[in-house]
Amino acid sequence: MSQSRWLRGVLVVIGLIGSFGPRIAVPPLQADGPSEVVGMDADDRLHWRREWLPRPTRTPTVTPTSPATPTPTLPPPPTATPPPTATPIPPGPPEAVRLELAGPMAASPAAHPPEWLIPDSEFVDGPTAVNFDSRAYIEAFPGYLKRHVEKVDGVDRDGPEIIDLIARRYSVHPRLLIALLEWKGSWLTKDEVPPAERDYAFGMQAVWAKGLYKQLEWVANYMNAGYYAATQRNYVQVIFLDSWRAKGPEGLNQGTYGLSYFLARMSKQADWDAQRAPDSPFMQVYRRLFGDPWRRAYEPLLPAGLKAPALKMPWAAGETWWYTGAPHGGWGAGSAWGAIDFAPGTTEDKSGCWDASAWWVRAAANGPIVVSDYGEVMQDLDGDGRLETGWLLIYNHIARKDSIEAGVMAKAGMPLGHPSCEGGWSSGTHVHLARRYNGVWIASNGPQSIPFFISGWQVGTYGVDYKGTLTRLGDPTRIAAPWRVPGQNDLESDNVVGVAQR
């Protein structure tokens, strides 16, 4: 076998265990300047997949090899210290105070199979998070988490802020994130955390994963892959510290599967059953901190017959923008494929990340703005002013300059801000649009999906992220492309200020 063929074989094996390698190549990121990519998210391809996300199971093809072919030695990803075992109750507020701060509970737990660990409502940042004040809870403990500070998006943020930011962006319940930190490194109860653990709390030692925010970002995205991808996209492989298996256990609810999927990544295969048992060290920590999770079950998160509110194109009537990204992850590659991308500009404008301050992203519906932060604007569509309940519309890559303030009651067509590359990884200036209901990321197609209509156009997919269509009766089909192609992905808006789609 030639040296080059052997090297390619080694790279393929390394890619399968998750060291690097995007599944679909895109041009490199750049701050400004020409590129063939007009505007689409790049985090799915250039960031999270450098670690890995599972691929659909395929029947392996056996290729004869020469006896002289060397066998590469590959390090197991990620390196991590063994999870702590159950210990006597560490310092913290009395149980009654702890449980009161943890939030209200029902008198008895919801019925569930014994192997289910947590309800779906304790996995997503949904209705049961409304009455949970993560800062008050964390500050009641003596541990290091409340004193930790690091820069996120160029701003100093402390431990409670980081927990809330990850919960909000990835829609993973803050109670679950706090419990995982305590299980892995006693961040709530230990006065100091060693510097190495502050940088790599969960053992994912990669350049892009340094710091508490980045470690939790990896954890949240990874758990979301178990919650959504395993049921919606047939991503079923389970990866351990020392091996992998083609399929996880069946018959679990999504919250349990998402949590178990991550616990596998922290375990050797022989230890996984013990790590995901109802009396496992993690579940003992969770119950000590927050009580029985099934006493907070909220079911169903997605009621039968749920219909999505109709939306308008998120730019002004008469303007032409470009459909640059068909369904892909709402926030990170692990979440449901329900987000779509649109880029501004004319065929004469530059590509890549460019100053689009002459263009405005506009509200696609009526409703109050509940979040306006670095790159992100979130709009509540049911009027209760909460991002955890009902329909939530997420606009990402909104420039800080001229962005709308939280608390404003937005009308359809009202300016929200300028499209940009701010807020996550992006290959070009655009706006990213996604939906959640009761904290659940909503897919546009396939299992557990709710159709995505926007100005009468229905979102379609080819089964590969970013690849798909928009169709509307009487109009030529539009096909997503990462560049401007007149007649293929150009779209004119009908979004008039104050006139909502019916």
Q: What is the pLDDT of residues 465-474, one digit of tens each?
A: 999 999 999 9
Q: Give mean pLDDT, residues 105-120.
A: 97
**Rounded Cα gap, residues 83 and 29, in angstroms:** 37
Q: What is the pLDDT of residue 360?
A: 98
- Output the pTM of the full model: 0.85
pLDDT at 75 over 60: no
Question: What band does 401 get if pLDDT is binned at 50, 70 and 90?
Answer: very high
What pLDDT sits at residue 88?
55
Residue 145: pLDDT over 80: yes
pLDDT at 195 over 60: yes
Comparing 301 with 424, the larger pLDDT belongs to 301
Nearest to 430 by CA among 454, 399, 453, 403: 399
Residue 159 has pLDDT above 50, yes or no: yes
Return the pLDDT at 253: 95
**Closest among 374, 379, 378 to 420, alpha carbons compared:** 374
Q: Give residue 248's pLDDT band: very low, low, confident or very high (50, 70, 90).
A: confident
The average confidence (pLDDT) of the chain is 85
* Per-residue pLDDT at 37: 58
Instruction: From 478, 474, 439, select the one nearest 460 (Cα to Cα).
Output: 478
Portion of the chain with pLDDT greater than 90, in percent: 74
Quick one: pLDDT at residue 233?
77
Partners of 245 in beta bridges:
238
pLDDT digits (tens, 9 = 90+) for 296-338: 999 999 999 999 998 999 999 999 999 999 999 999 999 999 9
Q: Which two tokens stand for residue 391?
A: 């329909």
DSSP state of 228: I
Question: Which residues have a Cβ under 8 Å from the Cβ of 325 and sit 6 or more positions away?
Answer: 39, 40, 41, 339, 340, 341, 430, 432, 466, 480, 482
Q: Can you tell me the mean pLDDT for 120-125? A: 98
- Assess whether pLDDT exceeds 70 at residue 54: no
- In sequence order, what are the residues at sequence separation of 6 or more whose Cβ sits closer than 8 angstroms to the Cβ of residue 264? 238, 239, 240, 248, 272, 275, 276
Q: Provide mean pLDDT across the span 230-237.
A: 78
- For residue 212, the surrounding DSSP H or E stretch is helix 212-224
Of the listed ranges 36-45, 87-96, 372-381, 395-404, the least confidently predicted one is 36-45
Q: For residue 435, is pLDDT > 50?
A: yes
d(CA 292, CA 283): 9
CA–CA–CA angle 58, 60, 66 (5° rounding): 160
pLDDT at 66 over 80: no
What is the pLDDT at residue 316? Answer: 97
Per-residue model confidence as pLDDT tens digits over 200-211: 999 999 999 999
Out of 34-38, 49-53, 125-129, 345-349, which region has the weakest mean confidence (pLDDT)? 49-53
Calculate mean pLDDT across residues 189-202: 96
